[in-house]
Amino acid sequence: MRPVTLTDLVHIAPDLWEIPQTFRNDMRVPARVYASERLLSDIVDERALEQLVNTATLPGVERHALAMPDIHQGYGFPIGGVVAVETEGGVISPGGVGYDINCGVRLLAGRLAVDDVTDRLADLATQMQRDVPSGVGRGGRLKLADDEMDKVLNTGLRWAIENGYASEEDAEALEERGFFRQADASAVSHKAKARGRDQLGTLGAGNHFLEIQRVAKVFDAERARAFGLFEGQVTVLIHTGSRGLGHQVCTDYMQLMDRVMEGYQIRLPDRELACAPFRSPEGGRYFAAMAAAANFAWVNRQLITHAVRGAWARVLGAGRRTELRIVYDVAHNIAKLESHNGVSCLVHRKGATRAFGPGHEALPERYRDTGQPVLIPGSMGTGSYVLAGTETAMRETFGSTCHGAGRRMSRSKAKKELDYNRLRQSLAEAGIVVRAGSARGLLEEAPAAYKDVDEVVAVMADTGIAAKVALLRPIAIIKG
Amino acid sequence: MRHGFVKVDTRVPYEVLEHPGDLKIRAFGASLAEAFANAGRAMMAFLFGETVVGAAPEARRRIEVTARDRDALLVAWLSELLWHSATEYRAYVPIRVAELSETRLGAEVGLVTAEAVDDIKAVTYHELSIRETDGAFEVTVVCDI
């Protein structure tokens, strides 16, 4: 297949490029890339754009296949991709969600400012590391019996509320209120349940992390106020997903779709795009399993939230002064049923974040006027952004934006080329407390291994897809 | 079709190739069965560290997988190994693929209690290849980590 080169991209608006439908005869719609010229030159170097074009061949794909500025090569679908398909006649693809179903980001904030915690920062980080299991092969404190596991999968945050890990106010701040109603635990294999059995409330390894941060800059005072954020405030960012349970659900259904696709006369250029009609027994069953894994991920982030709150109360004392509320929780590997321009769609967001604009009925009352908070984690030790969804996103990107910095150096290269002691030193010089389970894990996630999150976010802000609200800088990193 | 287990000392059993963000394994064998076994061995070495590969097994087990074609069989085989080791906190070494056809694999594996040093999310079809050159076999597979 012919690779996509710079000359194949038509510059249709500032920071917006189109690969016309005529580029390949199996494309059903054009493909679009949001990127600055500089980011684009990085992007064409890898196979990500070829993958983007492949997603434009999916049956039922609506308007255009989209790539956000943090696009990079994934499996089948590029990471940083958004593909909306019509629910009637369109397909659902596990690869369009990815192996870490409902991997996402949650932001906690309270009344405290950095000055209030500076003296206890090291203790806070230590306590959080102790209370939130992280790293490879680390199980959590809960080992779910079969019926409890099914309740978690079927009811998500409702289970957490009933068991004292969450409040109704917490649920308000989650997409779907942390409870995907389409979930069906019976669609999740015993293998997937076994893999997730002891992983609820655990961070995992890889690029997943916990950070204590300070609000370094407020770009939009009005929205920041609505989000409950102020300059100098302390926040906590949680980045993790559905752990082994979600990985196994994707593996299982990838195999199933691979088997049945031919029967539906679907032919695709990459086996990792395996899919089935959304309105088919297999499509419906994957959606129910994905929704169950998404529920598991929301509960996972909730148990971590619960543990973080406990750690704060223990170190700083309990009470309203030290309370942490959830600002918002976003999923960046998920498929959602939504209506766009009057069409009922299934929107696959693979390494992309929902960015619903003001007035959308899915948003909690307190964010109706501002658009939803969008949380963009930077690479470890750099900045993270709080953005807000916009009307432009609703019109142009199926209410979606970027999800992070995007890796640019392989893990092995990072370990080879970067120096652990120098990394520790530069983090220490920046005043960042580090509680890392392994030197290797820290090096693999070094900022130099990632694209510049500032540049990625700038494209989203300049094109009006998302509005910048605040910049968060880490003051402590906790990871496996 | 049955493949015997042939040990080849003249070549490295596997190598880990450069891949952005992920684990790309290339495994070799004098037979396809040996290449499949070595791909499993590479996965165990990644998950539990190189030293686990030579450890004496505490028990043995038979694993069987079926799939619709040879590529799918490689993915299914490694996914099965991954699932076992991820849920049991045990390394599956040594590995002997005793039976292999286009759609079916039977392996005798040893079990070693070990602590994982890394995670794999899943085995993928991405850049997957199975090749025969000069009577030797080479399989390439990418894992999401």
pLDDT beyond 70 at A252? yes
Residue B120: phi and psi, rounded to 5, are: -125, 135
Between CA A391 and CA B88 the distance in angstroms is 49
State which residues form the domain around A251.
6-479
Neighbours of A228 (CB within 10 A): 17
Between CA A108 and CA A105 the distance in angstroms is 10
Q: How far is CA A413 from the centre of its chain?
A: 24
A203-207, A391-395, A398-402: range with lowest mean pLDDT: A203-207
Instruction: State the sign of the Cα–Cα–Cα–Cα dihedral A361, A364, A369, A373.
Output: negative
pLDDT of residue A141: 79
The CATH number of whichever domain residue A347 belongs to comes to: 3.90.1860.10
DSSP A368-379: TTT--EEEE--S
Task: Tell me the C-alpha to C-alpha distance, in Å, between residue B54 and each of A17, B40, B95.
Answer: 53, 14, 11
The gap between the terminal CA atoms of chain B, to the nearest Å, is 33
Which token pair is B10?
Answer: 């003249």
Q: Are B100 and B36 in contact (CB under 8 A)?
A: yes
Helix (H, G, I), strand (E, B) or coil at B86: helix
The minimal CB distance from A272 to the residues B20, B118, B126 is found for B126
pLDDT of residue A182: 97
Q: Which residues contact A430 (CB under 8 A, 6 or more apart)?
A: A381
Torsion of CA A400, A402, A403, A405, to 10 degrees: 180
Q: Which residues contact A37 (CB under 8 A, 6 or more apart)?
A: none
Pick from B71, B118, B128, B130 the residue to mutate for testing the A interface (most A CBs within 10 Å). B118
Nearest-Cα residue of chain A relative to residue B17: A412
pLDDT beyond 70 at A169? yes
Give residue-wise pLDDT tens across range A257-278.
Answer: 999 999 999 999 999 999 999 9
Rounded to the nearest 10 degrees, the angle between the axes of helix A281-316 and helix A146-155 is: 100
Would you call A99 and B117 a contact, using CB atoms and an 8 Å cutoff? no
Q: Which residues contact A475 (CB under 8 A, 6 or more apart)?
A: A114, A121, A212, A213, A214, A234, A431, A432, A433
pLDDT of residue A406: 76
Would you call A75 and B144 a contact, using CB atoms and an 8 Å cutoff? yes
pLDDT of residue B4: 42
Residue with tokens 């770009």: A219
pLDDT beyond 70 at B2? no
**Could you give the angle at the alpha carbon of A92 between the alpha carbons of A88 and A97, nearest 5°?**
140
pLDDT of residue A467: 98
Structural domain count, chain A: 1
Which token pair is B134?
Answer: 């000069």
Neighbours of B83 (CB within 10 A): 22
Residues 105-164 of A with CB under 8 A from B: 136-137
pLDDT of residue B11: 64
The amino acid sitting at A425 is Q
Residue of A242, A352, A232, A355 whose CA lies nearest to A289: A242
The minimal CB distance from B18 to the residues A197, A251, A412 is found for A412
Would you call A99 and B121 a contact, using CB atoms and an 8 Å cutoff? yes
| Residue at A210 is within a domain | yes
pLDDT of residue B8: 45
Q: Which residue has the higher pLDDT, B72 or B8?
A: B72
Which residues face B112 on adjacent strands? B91
pLDDT of residue A440: 78
Mean pLDDT computed over every residue of chain A: 94
Residue with tokens 């790309």: B24
Would you call B18 and A410 a contact, using CB atoms and an 8 Å cutoff? yes
Q: What is the average pLDDT across A16-34?
A: 97
Q: Are A332 and A403 in contact (CB under 8 A)?
A: yes
Query: What residue segments make up the domains of chain B, in order of their start?
Result: 14-144
pLDDT of residue B3: 45
Q: Which residue has the higher pLDDT, A183 or B19?
A: A183
State which CATH number among 3.40.630.10, 3.55.10.10, 2.60.120.620, 2.40.10.410 fits the domain covering B14-144.
Answer: 3.55.10.10
Give residue-wise pLDDT tens across range B108-127.
Answer: 999 999 999 889 999 999 99
Between CA B72 and CA A185 the distance in angstroms is 26
pLDDT beyond 80 at A137? no
pLDDT beyond 80 at B9? no
Q: What is the average pLDDT across A336-344?
A: 96
The amino acid sitting at A438 is S
pLDDT of residue B6: 45
- DSSP code for A435: E
Greatest extent of chain A over all pairs of C-alpha atoms, in Å? 64
Our CA-based measurement puts residue A180 at a distance from the nearest CA of chain B, in whole angstroms, of 23
For the whole model, what pTM was predicted?
A: 0.95
Between CA A340 and CA A264 the distance in angstroms is 26
Give residue-wise pLDDT tens across range B39-75.
Answer: 999 999 999 999 988 889 999 999 999 999 999 999 9
Would residue A72 show up in a list of annotated catalytic residues for this protein? no
Helix (H, G, I), strand (E, B) or coil at A340: strand
The minimal CB distance from A250 to the residues B18, B72, B122 is found for B122
pLDDT of residue A124: 97
Q: What is the average pLDDT across A63-89?
A: 95
